[in-house]
C-alpha cells in the first residue's frame, strides 16, 4: 500500500485526540445543539470571511463542513473542554495535500466563554502531534487575517515561523478582499518546538 493511500485512510478514519485539557472528536451530525448554543456571536466570525447568525447559516456551515470532509479537503473536529465537560468550538485540518504531505490547521473558533483560557494551545498541540507524528505531514501552515492581531499572537505562541502576507487572499461574504498573514511549522522544527512550547502536554 502506498504512503498516500495510508494517509488517506487515516484521514477517513475516526480520529479522536485527547490530553488532560481537551478532547477533539470528528465533526458529524452530533453535538448540534451544543454548537448552536455558542456559535451565534458576530465577534467569533469577524475575521472568518462569513457570519453565522441564524439556523439557516448554521445548516449551510454544517453541510459545507461535512461535504468538504467527504471530498478529502479537510478533516474537521468538535472541540470539547474537559475542565467544563462542554463543547467549546471547532477546528480542522484543511487544505490537505497528501502528495506534498502538507495541510493547514485553522477554521478554528471558540465560544466566548472558552477564549483566552489556554484551550487553544492544548488543541493545537494535539493537532500538530498527530499531523507530524502519525499522518506524517512535512509542513503544517496557519493563516490569520492581517487585522486579526489576536490570532496572529496565538499562532506565534506555538512557535510557528511567520512567512509573509498574502494580499487579496480571499473575498469575504460582503465582497471585500482580505489579506492574510501566513505561518508554518515544518517536520524539521517539530521535536524542538514540542519541547520548547508544549512541555506541559508531554
Strands 139-145 and 102-110: parallel
Residue 124: which domain range? Answer: 3-201
C-alpha to C-alpha distance for 61 and 55, rounded to whole angstroms: 10
| DSSP for residue 190 | H
Residues 105, 127: contact at Cβ < 8 Å?
A: yes
Cell 480571499 identifies what position? 170
Overall residue count recorded for the chain in this entry:
202
Give the model's pLDDT for residue 202. 78
State the alpha helices, DSSP H only, in the chain: 3-10, 32-39, 42-45, 55-70, 119-130, 149-156, 187-197
C-alpha to C-alpha distance for 22 and 18, rounded to whole angstroms: 6
Bridge partners of residue 78, in order along the sequence: 25, 90
Give the model's pLDDT for residue 30. 84
Domain count of the fold of the chain: 1
CATH number assigned to the domain comprising residue 44: 3.40.630.30
Give the model's pLDDT for residue 1. 47
Give the model's pLDDT for residue 184. 98
* Count of CB atoms situated within 10 Å of the CB of 183: 20
Bridge partners of residue 162, in order along the sequence: 183
Low-confidence ranges of the chain (pLDDT < 50): 1
Give the model's pLDDT for residue 11. 86
Candidates 80, 83, 76; CA nearest to 34 is 80
C-alpha to C-alpha distance for 171 and 142, rounded to whole angstroms: 18
Predicted TM-score of the model (pTM) = 0.95
C-alpha cell at 165: 502576507
Q: Which residues contact 140 (CB under 8 A, 6 or more apart)?
A: 102, 103, 104, 105, 127, 128, 131, 132, 184, 185, 186
Helix or strand (DSSP H, E) at 104: strand 102-110
Give the model's pLDDT for residue 2. 64
Amino acid at each position: 500500500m502506498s504512503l498516500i493511500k495510508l494517509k488517506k485512510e487515516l484521514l477517513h478514519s475516526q480520529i479522536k485526540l485527547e490530553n488532560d485539557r481537551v478532547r477533539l472528536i470528528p465533526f458529524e451530525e452530533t453535538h448540534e445543539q451544543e454548537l448552536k448554543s455558542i456559535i451565534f456571536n458576530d465577534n467569533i466570525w469577524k475575521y472568518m470571511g462569513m457570519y453565522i447568525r441564524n439556523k439557516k447559516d448554521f445548516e449551510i456551515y454544517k453541510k459545507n463542513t461535512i461535504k468538504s470532509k467527504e471530498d478529502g479537503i479537510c478533516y474537521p473536529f468538535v472541540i470539547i473542554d474537559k475542565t467544563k465537560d462542554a463543547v467549546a468550538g471547532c477546528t480542522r485540518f484543511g487544505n490537505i495535500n497528501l502528495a506534498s504531505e502538507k495541510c493547514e490547521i485553522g477554521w478554528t473558533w471558540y465560544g466566548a466563554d472558552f477564549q483566552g483560557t489556554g484551550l487553544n494551545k492544548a488543541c493545537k498541540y494535539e493537532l500538530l502531534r498527530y499531523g507530524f507524528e502519525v499522518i506524517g505531514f512535512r509542513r503544517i501552515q496557519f493563516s490569520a487575517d492581517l487585522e486579526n492581531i489576536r490570532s496572529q499572537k496565538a499562532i506565534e505562541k506555538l512557535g510557528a515561523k511567520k512567512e509573509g502576507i498574502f494580499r487579496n487572499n480571499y473575498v469575504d461574504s460582503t465582497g471585500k478582499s482580505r489579506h492574510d498573514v501566513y505561518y508554518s511549522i515544518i517536520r524539521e522544527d517539530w521535536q524542538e518546538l514540542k519541547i520548547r512550547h508544549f512541555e506541559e502536554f508531554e
